[in-house]
Amino acid sequence: MKARNAIPNRVAAAAVFAAALLSASIPVSAQTDEERAGARAAATEGAAAMEQQRWADAIDLFTRAESLVHAPPHLLYLARAYEKQGKLVKARETYAKLTRETLPPNSPAAFTNAQAEGTTELAALEPRVPSLRISVKGGAVPDLVVTMDGNPVPPALVGVPRPVDPGRHEIQATGKGVASEVATVTLKEGVKEILEIELKPVAGGAPTPPVVTGPTPASSATPSPEAIPPGKDSGPPASKSNPLRTVSYITLGGGVVALAIGGIFAAKSHSKRVEGDDLCPGGACKVSDKDTLDSLDSDATSAGRIAYTGFLLGGAAVATGVTLYFLSAGKQEPKRAAHDAPAISPWIGLGSAGVVGRF
């Protein structure tokens, strides 16, 4: 009896795919002789890669063959290669695509055999696929983003079980002024896990009045009569330096720098997205550009996360600096008219950021 997932030798595979493609009667868009010959060649090399356990090469070759001429055996071997790589979710979806197809009654035997084998192998694979339900504690949070291994999880899938490949995964949730710690989970085949992560305020997420030890310029405490030297009034002594004012300037400066960094990485993320779009004119991407597209997408995502963090921390630092500035003013300066009151407004642009104001 033939073993499941057995890999035919190179000569046998070539004969199977050549016969299938030559006799295919499935309605497809017209192919040239060159495309059909190219599909047979790619499938033959893909079968050889499977025999040599070069799973990544097999996936690439069968993907190329399928892009030229559709044939169920391509999908069968693609699913098997994904499964061998441990990418069980992609394997399951590829098997499902193969088994859902309605073949014409006069389909080649290679096509019907591939679909039958795919149906059997999908049934065996289903219980092996792990699932993970991510639960976020912390209530409704604006701009909530949950990522797994650096990739955003669709909001509709947060809080419900979703199929995930076995292995180690890192999950984090972030929102406006809050974030969770990076949670690590290692999934085994067939296991159903529930992961609960808790959102906590991040540093600078919500400006908090500083805790000051000792008298401050805004203090309403009245010194005792014994503490007032003769001939002096009870007002606070004049001071040439104001530590709280200095801290406000430093905090504002740090916020401007963080905003600038966020702008730079936002521009970088946009640039990477544009490069990826240029490789897929009209939405049609070449298989040969897959690695380049994946790299551009990864770079864009990483730059976007850095930009988001820069804007978040920068905005919080600017807000904190403004709060410290007004707290430091106290009673040391004469009251200004409303139109002369100090004011600071942050601004953010593509690739740049800063603050404007009057003091």
The per-residue pLDDT for 54 is 96
Q: Please, what CATH class does the domain formed by 10-126 belong to?
A: mainly alpha
pLDDT of residue 78 exceeding 70, the answer is: yes
The per-residue pLDDT for 4 is 43
**Tokens coding 197:** 């992560």
Could you give the angle at the alpha carbon of 101 between the alpha carbons of 119 and 117, nearest 5°? 25
Pick the residue with more confidence: 26 or 276?
276
The per-residue pLDDT for 219 is 40
The per-residue pLDDT for 313 is 86
The H or E element that residue 83 is part of is helix 72-85
Buried b / exposed e along 204-232 (16+ C-beta atoms within 10 A): bbebeeeeeeeebbeeeeeeeeeeeeeee
Average pLDDT, the chain: 78
The per-residue pLDDT for 258 is 82
The fold adopted by the segment(s) 131-201 is Immunoglobulin-like (2.60.40)
pLDDT of residue 85 exceeding 60, the answer is: yes
pLDDT of residue 18 exceeding 60, the answer is: no
Domain segments of the chain as ranges: 10-126, 131-201, 241-358
Among residues of the chain, what percentage have pLDDT more than 90? Answer: 43
Minimum mean pLDDT range among 145-149, 155-159, 342-346? 342-346
User: pLDDT tens digits, residue range 197-223?
Assistant: 999 998 765 443 344 444 444 444 444
Spatial separation of the C-alpha atoms in residues 155 and 145, rounded to whole Å: 8
297 CA to centre of own chain: 10
Which of the four pLDDT bands, split at 50, 70 and 90, describes residue 259? confident
How much is the average pLDDT of 320-325?
81
**Tokens coding 21:** 């493609």
Tell me the C-alpha to C-alpha distance, in Å, between residue 72 and each of 6, 76, 169, 254, 355. Answer: 17, 6, 32, 59, 60
User: pLDDT tens digits, residue range 96-155?
Assistant: 999 999 999 999 999 999 999 999 999 999 999 999 999 999 767 888 999 999 999 999
Supply the DSSP symbol for 31.
-
User: pLDDT tens digits, residue range 272-286?
Assistant: 888 878 778 777 777
User: pLDDT tens digits, residue range 35-67?
Assistant: 989 999 999 999 999 999 999 999 999 999 999
3-state secondary structure of 200: strand
Pick the residue with more confidence: 309 or 346?
309
3-state secondary structure of 135: strand
